[in-house]
Amino acid sequence: MSEQIDTREGWLSDEDIATVRARLPIVYVEAIPVRINQAGEVIQIGLLLRAMPDGTISRAIVSGRVMWGERVREALVRHIEKDLGSLALPKIPPSPTPFTIAEYFPEPERSGFHDPRQHAVSLVYLVPVEGICEPSQESLEITWITPAEADTAEVKAEMTSGQDRLLRLALAHAGCLP
């Protein structure tokens, strides 16, 4: 009988994931939670306040790995629920197509997206949420801001790893830039 791979959370040990990260790109999903009006226009964007691995605090978007055997839709729901709580009620579209793909590299100058641990390929989504959002796990808080507020130098300065660029791409994708 062949050995089965455990696809539940924590399917690789810390040592194993470090080995894999050193040798292969890892697939991630990133979700920018939004509130929309009845016309489908983005009226608010949710940004997390998170403690980063280097000890700093920054604004971030929902992000996490796609697990072995997990569909992208399942990964999106899992990470949204992990970061925003089980009552967030995300509305994943019938055909989850990312609005962009970001490649994170250990070298920040390579793509503008930086992750010192690895080369990661991230599928990035705008995801409407309708429920109650409460930060959980690694998030300290969630702040809802307008698209105009999201496009300010102050918000961009609070974001790291190139996620400010993803936020601007999301605003453009949603037709929210002036």
Residues 62-121 pLDDT 10s: 999 999 899 999 999 999 999 999 999 999 989 899 999 999 999 989 999 999 889 999
Structure-model confidence comparison of residues 6 and 126, the more confident one: 126
pLDDT at 6: 45
Structure-model confidence comparison of residues 32 and 12, the more confident one: 32
Parse the chain into domains and list their residue ranges: 14-173
pLDDT bin (cut points 50, 70, 90) of residue 144 is: very high
CATH topology assigned to domain 14-173: Nucleoside Triphosphate Pyrophosphohydrolase (3.90.79)
pLDDT at residue 31 greater than cutoff 50: yes
Cα-based distances in Å from 68 to 4, 22, 53, 133, 160: 11, 18, 24, 27, 27
